């Protein structure tokens, strides 16, 4: 176990509001302190943390920044402006437990697939290196439930898509292997009532260029995967936000404007319009007090990432999903 103190690296800054309405009446647009894509994120209380990722120079970032979601875009927030001694990486995943954030896997600045697990204490600004993930992966995603972090899918060091599920026990700093998915894929994960929902993603299949419509649901208590009805459209490089019984997927690698809605209770899903959504992929997103916050991402691998933060009214999105054909 390695601990590093990073001192007082949180500084005051002012965010800028920009043009571009999201869903009507849902708020405005914030800005990240720098352009980022393929980063990780975590919600700690009322603060949303954005960690690492690729910047405008296509370099891996070793830093993070945070937004106070109780403030408006015109109010002062606090952001992490100077680099922290986090591992510079992208295509990784992160989860929060209490005031700690756990960063897992991804690609290092040297382009190496890693299994590195770091804990960032957001109160003391101390980074601790913990037991590495047994299967190094990039483009895996995760959820936290009952003091354990469930890391699903991704691409391994041999550039193979995997359906691997590995489970990290925070209390004991140990890993164990769970039951693998039916379909190996890069994917996102949504947690709903003790179940992990994996929808779409990217596989090695030639169908649809490897982009999937398949949905699998993992029952944590039973350690069992089951298949669910497929999505209406293939989707990958997206990010999920849960609101009630609905899961919303923002962005897609090819159809950048794509937003899908899945009812976790019924299994029904549909494509919806999200007026004002900036078309993009590789975003991060979270829900807080009835709003979805969608941040960063990119429109093309050859162009700089984005820095805007869009806010959507989740009640209106649920209404749209329920009324969609």
Q: Per-residue pLDDT tens for 5-25? A: 433 333 322 232 222 234 333
The SS3 of residue 93 is strand
With 70 as the cut, is the pLDDT of residue 26 above it?
no
Distance, CA of 2 to CA of 4 (rounded, Å)? 7
Please tell me which residue, 279 or 74, carries the higher pLDDT value.
Answer: 279
Cβ(54)–Cβ(73) under 8 Å?
no
Whole-model pTM? 0.91
pLDDT in tens, 192-246: 999 999 999 999 777 778 999 999 999 999 999 999 999 999 999 999 999 999 9
Nearest to 96 by CA among 135, 62, 50: 50
With 50 as the cut, is the pLDDT of residue 76 above it?
no
Residues 6+ apart with CB under 8 A from 301: none
| Res 78: pLDDT | 45
Split at pLDDT 50, 70, 90, the class of 73 is low
What b/e readout covers 280-302, taking b as 16+ CB neighbours within 10 angstroms? bbbbbbbbbeebbbbbbbbbeee
Least confident of 135-144, 258-267, 303-312: 303-312
pLDDT in tens, 248-266: 999 999 999 999 999 999 9
Q: Tell me if the domain spanning 33-323 has CATH number 3.90.1150.10.
A: no
Please tell me which residue, 275 or 271, carries the higher pLDDT value.
Answer: 271
With 50 as the cut, is the pLDDT of residue 322 above it?
yes
DSSP label at residue 86: S
Distance, CA of 260 to CA of 250 (rounded, Å)? 7
Q: Average pLDDT in the 274-279 region? A: 91
Nearest to 70 by CA among 47, 97, 40: 47
Cβ(87)–Cβ(53) under 8 Å?
no
Q: Average pLDDT in the 55-62 region? A: 92
Least confident of 76-85, 129-138, 181-190: 76-85
Distance, CA of 296 to CA of 274 (rounded, Å)? 17
The percentage of the chain sitting over the pLDDT mark of 90, rounded to a whole number, equals: 77
The SS3 of residue 214 is coil
Own/partner contacts of 226-231, CB < 8 Å, gap of 24 or more, are 227/182, 228/197, 228/267, 229/267, 229/268, 229/269, 231/199, 231/200, 231/260, 231/262, 231/269
| Res 205: pLDDT | 76
């Amino acid at each position: 176990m390695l601990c590093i103190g990073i001192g007082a690296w949180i500084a005051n800054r002012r965010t800028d509001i920009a043009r571009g309405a999201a869903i009507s009446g849902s708020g405005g647009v914030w800005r990240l302190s720098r352009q980022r894509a393929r980063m990780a994120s975590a919600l700690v209380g009322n603060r949303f943390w954005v960690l690492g990722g690729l910047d405008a120079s296509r370099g891996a970032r070793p830093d993070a920044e945070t937004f106070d979601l109780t403030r408006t875009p015109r109010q002062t927030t606090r952001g992490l402006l100077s680099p922290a001694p986090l591992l510079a990486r992208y295509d990784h995943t992160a989860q929060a437990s209490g005031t700690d954030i756990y960063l897992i896997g991804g690609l290092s600045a040297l382009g190496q697939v890693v299994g590195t697990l770091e804990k960032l204490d957001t109160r003391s600004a101390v980074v601790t290196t913990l037991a590495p993930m047994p299967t190094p992966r990039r483009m895996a995603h995760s959820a936290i439930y009952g003091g354990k972090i469930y890391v699903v899918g991704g691409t391994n060091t041999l550039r193979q898509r995997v359906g691997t599920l590995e489970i990290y026990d925070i209390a004991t700093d140990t890993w164990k292997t769970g039951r693998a998915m039916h379909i190996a894929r890069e994917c996102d994960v949504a947690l709903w009532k003790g179940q992990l929902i994996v929808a779409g993603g990217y596989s090695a299949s030639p169908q649809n260029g490897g982009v999937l419509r398949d949905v699998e649901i993992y029952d944590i208590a039973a350690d069992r995967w089951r298949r669910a009805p497929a999505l209406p459209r293939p989707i990958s490089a997206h990010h999920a936000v849960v609101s009630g019984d609905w899961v919303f997927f923002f962005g897609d690698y090819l159809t950048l404007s794509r937003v899908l809605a899945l009812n976790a209770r019924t299994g029904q899903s549909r494509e919806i319009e999200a007026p004002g959504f900036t078309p993009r992929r590789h975003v991060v997103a979270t829900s807080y007090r009835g709003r979805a916050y969608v941040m960063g991402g990119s429109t093309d691998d050859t162009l700089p990432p984005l820095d805007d933060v869009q806010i959507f009214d989740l009640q209106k999105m649920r209404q749209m999903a329920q009324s969609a054909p």
